[in-house]
Amino acid sequence: MHHVPSPAQRARDAYRQRQTVLSVLVAAASTAAVGTLLAVAVTGAPGWERVRQTFLDPEIAREALPRVLTGLWLNVRLLVFCAVAALLLGLLIAILRTLRGPIFFPIRALAASYTYVFRGLPLIIVLYVLTLGTPGLRLQGMPSVLVLGGAALVLTYSGYLAEVFRAGIESVHPSQLAAARSLGLTYRQTVRHVVLPQAVRRVAPPLLNDIVALQKDVGLVALAGPIDAVRAAQIATAQTFNYTPYIVAGVLFVLLAIPLIAVTDRVTLRAARRQSGG
């Protein structure tokens, strides 16, 4: 039988709909007001015209865009490689840190030292050491500066990701491990089929947040010489003595980050709803 809402229910639904529309209108009006005030304040500043010519020149932006886009493709490829490698290495370090038994103490100590060192070292120092110092060894088969820069990013971010993974692994209740072992699963099978699926699902939001941060930091490889989006903008700026190419590169990085940020927000919201039982 088709359910017919009561008059009180219809009144509540209509009230909620009116409140939703009102909230949207108020939010739009307040946003427009704040945006207008900011625009007036910035464009009315005494030095606005000079800043506009130096940072927001449309002609220079059009000229620099193709070269910056070409450099951005390098950033995208580097991001994919570094994200996958950092996730895998971080997961391995986390598993090593959670090994039980006194026999594994040296391994746990090494894994803990790894996370302490690379979470404490500034990324730019690791980048300089690997890209400028390592080639000085003049070893045969030395990888390119781009690969060394990617390795610096992987080493640094895997330290952070390892701690995120470790938090997820240790959040799984010990009774689940005991139940899995009682069913005849080995330790490796328990970690693979019981622990890791739950751990990764629980820490997915902070993992994605770290990947968003990595997406920005791939631009630091420009310090070592590879012509990515930032280096291409720097070259264009040196040719025109105008900083608009940096703005172009910044806008492209933001556009690149928006889909990943949206996915992160969605995963975070779903995790919050699941945790609250909604």
| DSSP codes, 37-95 | HHHHHHHTSTTHHHHHHHH--HHHHHHHHHHHHHHHHHHHHHHHHHHHHHHHHHHHHHH
Fold for domain 67-276?
MetI-like fold (1.10.3720)
User: Residue 83: what pLDDT?
Assistant: 95
| Rounded Cα–Cα distance for residues 246 and 78 (Å) | 20
Domain ranges of the chain: 67-276
Integer CA distances (angstroms), 273 to 165, 182, 200, 208, 241, in order: 21, 32, 17, 18, 51
User: Residue 230: what pLDDT?
Assistant: 92
pTM above 0.75, yes or no: yes
Structure tokens at 202: 């629980």
User: Residue 20: what pLDDT?
Assistant: 86
User: Residue 134: what pLDDT?
Assistant: 87
Query: What residues of the chain score a pLDDT lower than 70?
Result: 1-3, 275-278
User: Residue 62: what pLDDT?
Assistant: 94
